[in-house]
């Protein structure tokens, strides 16, 4: 039945939450992390269980499908629908109860897995299953997919931890699925309830030795614990009254059902004790995948907590990734495969015994050529490298991608080596080199063929390869899906995998629990065909998108947007990096890197739009992007939305003209240059005085926001211009426009500090960095300024000279935009290689032994550090820590904050003020407010210091000011 807009309006009035059927929401939710795409009818953010009942009634009346979604990181197309998407991640986020004594937690489906464990951190308990997406995946999704992850060899899968589910059935009845005694089971049937009818139907259909035998004959081997083959029918026979000894619990069958049997509204989970505190990771490295796999069964004889594999293709993806490159330190040579074998013990002695035993076994085997043992932070970094596998595969430039279709096969560990041998031979027949990574210890490797799904011939290969691998898995009585689920990509293969009889049993379960076909149609049973509803139109003519900026490294803007594979790193918890600040504040999918890339891709490929850059959806989705650049480093696929936004702003302005406010901020240096001639008068009149409110009103600035005052300081640069017999590099101190007009005192401190430490310092003044122009998309003017700076500064620097800057947003532009926007690419690259933040410079000079802690006070101080977003994205935070750690009794710590929220002009803009402050409230403000009164706060961004003052009433200093004051008298 067609759904009219008036029907959706009526529905919206019945919901506590909200429903959206505009083009923006449809585009954002058309995809997940799979290769599939379908525009939904609309998107609902349900707020209460009653909303779910209303939605089920509406779906029944209008013959619609309801698809539950949490983080949207599904790889098999489970979240793709032409019906209504129900996003539980917005409102169903409560941790209802934690019972330490009973070792259980009751949570809503939108609770993030790592957030639960963070809450449990002091209890000695945790939720064991641990997917690579654990910092953004949600427990509803983990139930739907029966997720497991790296720790499954120790903690099992989500089904093993399920105690109970609150669920809304097809008729709107709300039931609790839990352990049933035979008495309560029979009583439920006798009650005549909907749930009783389901129990009765299961009993009539499956309480038969003949049926059980048919199921066990074709289902995966019993020792394969990770398996999502259709519905878990074999689980029934572990329970009463189907011949098993465990209590009947329908929740066990719901696990892995991908939202096709009902809507889960509450989850009760069993918890495990935390692993022992003493840990080591042995990382044997091999010259071939085959050699690596032959060691797996042997290593599993040891008490491992995880046994993971990475192949050369995964490792190669990390080489050029700024975040993951340093994590490769343990890699020796150029291995074709690496195992990550984690050991945890209760004492150092027990750990060393376990490590020695494992190393001895590996040495006896003789297949690994290197066996480093990692400790502490190195373990986390190595596991992060493995976790990033999915996203890093999106780094493949161009249309050939590592495709998820056969990536989730699982076989018995004892069959793994032979299976992979057969699999590799099969792939050679298809002329495929496959990526191998993931859960070797559980008999499950994520194997991906490289295909171009924009071409019909590769779409056919996609289908043929999947069907051939399904036949191979069937030969080994394995599972076509270990944890990612059947969804669209594998659902249509179930009749072949299981045979028509057992497939009929799956359909019977669906009919019992969803007789009206309401829940997530097209998945598991009666699944959409594997080669339909694909993300890209086959054999389309690729749109030619003309851009001002150079996107050639991604083969153009469209392919740069297509780099986003939906892995959802931009939805990760605050405290795990900067990405994505606006999402942290709003919890709206619209404010993720993923949504921005998806909407851009959708519009660039929609032929009905002559100029997609003018489209209101693009304007809306980019509105809260603060161009922090975190996506360029923290997104494994390096999706650079800050660069996208600059291009979009430029193209929009070109078509629609500029706004008064954009011009005010982009070209503020012209105004500041004039006002700074009489700073005290300017401050009294415009910044904090007579005309301040008028300025705010005219340019659309937030009434509550304080404007930065112009500095009245007069520079004193009186140091020597040369120094004989110095082994120290010459320093060209770049005094950017922000330091020039607002922070002269900081620039003076930087000069005085470097001079006191024995450096020849040449101040560079009068060069606008072009930062404001870039941030507002004034790309022609920015390019002109960049060319001036490169042409004038590059020739001045001698072989051993360095360009050192104070304000991260200004100086780090030389290492980012200047490289691809300058007319003289070689000069810009040479200049970039010689450009450093002042913290980087001082930390490096200290490491080289040219700066000593003896130059500084012995006084004790505690310092909390907040670093600028650009430093986090383009440099690292450690240099600030190392610099402030030079005075031997200074105790710096880095606040695990993301963006402060000011983001240049963003926090000044009237409509963005509240979001700006909310971003600061995530981590930064609480950390500062809770600090003791004698704590110093270091923040190297001028916007950051202003935001801290406005948000906490505390005063932050630039790190150079703190270090300058620490000099011995």
Q: CB 513: neighbour CB atoms within 10 A? A: 24
pLDDT for the residue numbered 835: 98
Residue spans of alpha helices (H) in 440-567: 456-475, 494-513, 557-562
Q: d(Cα 241, Cα 243) in Å, to the nearest integer?
A: 6
pLDDT of residue 725: 57
* Residues in the chain where the model's pLDDT stays below 70: 1, 389-394, 722-725
CA dihedral 524, 256, 38, 458 (to 10 degrees): -70
Kindly state the helix (H) or strand (E) to which residue 55 belongs, with its residue range: helix 49-62
Q: Count CA atoms closer than 13 A to 418's CA, side-chain side.
A: 10
User: In this structure, what token pair is assigned to residue 359?
Assistant: 């190393």
CA distances, 670 to each of 335, 676, 792 (Å): 55, 10, 20
pLDDT digit string (tens) for 3-45? 999 999 999 999 999 999 999 999 999 999 999 999 999 999 9
The whole-angstrom separation of Cα 314 and Cα 328 is: 11
Are the C-beta atoms of 757 and 851 separated by less than 8 Å?
yes
User: What pLDDT is attached to residue 87?
Assistant: 99
Report how far residue 236's alpha carbon sits from residue 232's, in angstroms, rounded to the nearest whole number. 8
Cα atoms in the Cβ-side hemisphere of radius 13 Å centred on 395: 25
Determine the Cα–Cα distance for residues 517 and 508; give it in Å rounded to an integer. Answer: 12
User: Which residue has tokens 């780090």?
Assistant: 812
| Angstrom distance (rounded) from CA 272 to CA 125 | 5
In three-state secondary structure terms, 802 is: strand
Residue 141, H or E segment: helix 139-145
What is the 3-class SS of 741-787, one letter each residue? HCCHHHHHHHHHHHHHCCCCEEEECCCCCCHHHHHCCCHHHHHHHHH
Whether residue 765 is preceded by a cis peptide bond, meaning omega within 30 degrees of 0, is no
Question: What single-letter DSSP state applies at residue 491?
Answer: G
- Under DSSP, is residue 62 helix (H, G, I), strand (E, B) or coil? helix
Q: In the structure encoding, which two tokens stand for residue 66, read together?
A: 């309801």
Pair 150, 29: CB distance under 8 Å: no
14, with CB counted inside 10 A (0-12, 13-18, 19+), is middle
| CA distance linking residue 445 with residue 443, whole number of Å | 7
> What is the C-alpha to C-alpha distance for residues 454 and 695, in angstroms, rounded to an integer?
52
With b for 16 or more beta-carbon neighbours within 10 A and e for fewer, the 874-885 pattern comes to: bbbbebbbbbbb
Q: Is 199 strand, coil or helix?
A: helix
- Whether 609 contacts 615, CB under 8 Å: yes
Q: How far is CA 118 from CA 195, 574, 878, in A?
A: 35, 12, 25
8 A C-beta contact, residue 891 and residue 861 = yes
Task: Please tell me the number of Cα atoms within 13 Å of 789 on its side-chain side.
Answer: 35
Measured between alpha carbons, how far is 830 from 666 in angstroms, rounded to an integer?
27
pLDDT number for residue 837: 99
Q: Rounded to an integer, what is the distance from CA 205 to the centroid of its chain?
A: 44
Distance, in Å, from the CA atom of 87 to the CA atom of 721, rounded to the nearest integer, reads: 63
Query: CA 581 to CA 627: how far, in whole Å?
Result: 10
**Of 756, 715, 761, nearest in space to 969 by CA:** 756
- What pLDDT score was predicted for residue 724? 54
For residue range 510-536, what is the model confidence (pLDDT) as tens digits?
A: 999 999 999 999 999 999 999 999 999
The Cα 953–Cα 137 span in angstroms is 36
Contact 733, 809 (CB under 8 A): no
Helix/strand/coil (H/E/C) assignment for every residue in 806-821: CCHHHHHHHHCHHHHH
Residue 221 DSSP label: P
Cβ atoms within 10 A of the Cβ of 542, count?
14
Extended beta strands in 636-760, E state: 731-734
């Amino acid at each position: 039945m067609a759904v009219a807009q008036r029907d959706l309006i009526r529905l919206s009035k019945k919901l506590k939450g909200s429903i959206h059927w505009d083009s923006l929401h449809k585009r954002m939710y058309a995809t997940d992390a799979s290769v599939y795409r379908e525009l939904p009818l609309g998107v609902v953010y349900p707020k209460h269980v009653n909303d779910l009942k209303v939605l089920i009634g509406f779906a029944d009346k209008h013959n619609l499908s309801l698809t539950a979604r949490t983080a949207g990181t599904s790889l098999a197309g489970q979240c793709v629908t032409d019906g209504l998407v129900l996003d539980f991640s917005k409102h169903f986020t409560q941790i209802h109860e934690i019972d330490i004594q009973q070792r259980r937690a009751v949570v809503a489906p939108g609770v993030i897995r790592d957030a639960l464990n963070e809450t449990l951190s002091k209890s000695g308990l945790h939720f064991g299953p641990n997917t690579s997406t654990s910092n953004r995946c949600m427990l509803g999704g983990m139930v739907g997919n029966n997720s497991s992850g790296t720790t499954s060899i120790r903690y099992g899968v989500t089904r093993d931890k399920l105690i109970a589910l609150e669920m809304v059935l097809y008729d709107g009845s709300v039931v609790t699925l839990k352990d049933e005694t035979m008495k309560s089971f029979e009583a439920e049937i006798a009650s005549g309830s909907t749930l009783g009818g389901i129990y009765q139907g299961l009993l009539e259909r499956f309480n038969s030795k003949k049926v059980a035998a048919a199921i066990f004959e074709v289902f995966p081997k019993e020792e394969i614990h990770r398996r999502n083959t259709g519905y878990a029918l074999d689980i029934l026979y572990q329970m009463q009254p189907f011949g098993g000894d465990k209590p009947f619990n329908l929740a066990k069958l719901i696990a892995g059902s991908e939202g096709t049997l009902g809507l889960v509204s509450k989850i009760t989970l069993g918890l495990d004790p935390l692993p022992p505190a003493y840990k080591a990771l042995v990382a044997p490295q091999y010259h071939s995948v085959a050699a690596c796999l032959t060691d797996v069964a042997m290593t599993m004889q040891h008490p491992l907590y995880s046994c993971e594999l990475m192949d050369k293709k995964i490792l190669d993806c990390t080489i050029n990734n700024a975040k993951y490159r340093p994590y490769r330190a343990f890699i020796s040579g150029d291995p074709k495969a690496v195992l990550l074998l984690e050991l945890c013990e209760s004492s150092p002695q027990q750990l060393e015994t376990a490590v020695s035993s494992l190393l001895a076994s590996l040495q006896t085997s003789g297949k690994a050529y290197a066996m480093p043992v990692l400790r502490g932070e190195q373990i986390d970094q190595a596991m992060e490298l493995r976790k990033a596998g999915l996203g890093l595969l999106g780094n493949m430039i161009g249309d050939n991608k590592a495709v998820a279709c056969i990536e989730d096969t699982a076989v018995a560990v004892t069959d793994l080596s032979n299976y992979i041998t057969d699999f590799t031979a099969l792939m050679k027949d298809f002329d495929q080199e496959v990526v191998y990574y993931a859960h070797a210890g559980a008999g499950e490797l994520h194997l991906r063929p490289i295909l171009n799904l924009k071409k019909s011939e590769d779409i056919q290969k996609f289908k043929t390869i999947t069907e051939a691998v399904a036949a191979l898995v069937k030969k080994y009585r394995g599972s076509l899906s270990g944890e990612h689920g059947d969804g669209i990509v594998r659902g249509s293969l179930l009749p072949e995998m299981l045979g028509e009889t057992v497939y009929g049993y799956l359909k019977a379960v669906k009919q019992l629990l969803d007789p009206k076909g309401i829940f997530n149609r097209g998945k598991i049973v009666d699944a959409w065909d594997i080669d339909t509803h694909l993300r890209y139109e086959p054999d389309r003519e690729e749109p030619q998108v003309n851009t001002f900026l150079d996107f050639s490294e991604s083969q153009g803007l469209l392919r740069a947007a297509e780099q986003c594979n939906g892995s959802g790193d931009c939805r990760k918890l605050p405290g795990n990096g900067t990405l994505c600040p606006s999402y942290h504040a709003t919890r709206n999918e619209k404010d993720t890197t993923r949504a921005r890339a998806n909407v851009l891709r959708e519009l660039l490929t929609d032929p009905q739009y002559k100029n997609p850059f003018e489209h209101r959806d693009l304007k809306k989705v980019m509105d809260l992007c603060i161009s922090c650049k975190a996506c360029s480093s923290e997104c494994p696929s390096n999706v650079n939305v800050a660069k996208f936004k600059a291009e979009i702003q430029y193209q929009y302005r070109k078509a629609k003209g500029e706004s008064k406010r954009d011009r005010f901020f982009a070209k503020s240096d012209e105004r500041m240059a004039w006002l700074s001639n009489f700073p005290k008068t300017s401050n009294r009149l415009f910044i904090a005085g007579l005309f301040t409110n008028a300025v705010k009103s005219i340019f659309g600035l937030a009434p509550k926001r304080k404007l930065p005052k112009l500095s009245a300081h007069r520079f004193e640069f009186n140091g020597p211009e040369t120094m004989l017999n110095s082994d120290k590099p010459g320093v060209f101190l770049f005094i950017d426009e922000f330091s020039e007009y607002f922070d002269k005192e900081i620039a003076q401190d930087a000069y005085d500090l470097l001079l006191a430490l024995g450096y020849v310092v040449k101040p560079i003044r009068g060069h606008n960095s072009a930062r404001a122009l870039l941030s507002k998309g004034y790309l022609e003017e920015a390019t002109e300024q960049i060319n001036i700076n490169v042409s004038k500064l590059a020739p001045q620097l001698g072989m051993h000279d360095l360009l050192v800057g104070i304000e991260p947003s200004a100086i780090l532009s030389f290492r980012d935009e200047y490289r691809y926007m300058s007319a003289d690419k070689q000069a810009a690259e040479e200049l970039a290689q010689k450009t450093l933040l002042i913290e980087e410079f001082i930390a490096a000079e200290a490491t080289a032994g040219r700066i000593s802690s003896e130059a500084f006070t012995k006084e004790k101080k505690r310092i909390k550090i907040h670093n600028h977003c650009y430093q986090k994205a383009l440099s690292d935070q450690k240099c600030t820590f190392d610099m402030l750690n030079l005075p031997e009794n200074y105790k710096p710590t880095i606040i695990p904050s993301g963006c402060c929220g000011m983001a240049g002009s963003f926090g000044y803009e009237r409509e963005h003020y509240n979001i700006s402050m909310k971003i600061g409230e995530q981590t930064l403000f609480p950390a500062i407010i809770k600090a003791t009164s004698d704590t110093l706060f270091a923040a190297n961004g001028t916007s950051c210091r202003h935001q801290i003052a406005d948000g906490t009433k505390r005063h932050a200093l630039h790190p150079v000011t703190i270090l300058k004051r620490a000099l011995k008298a």
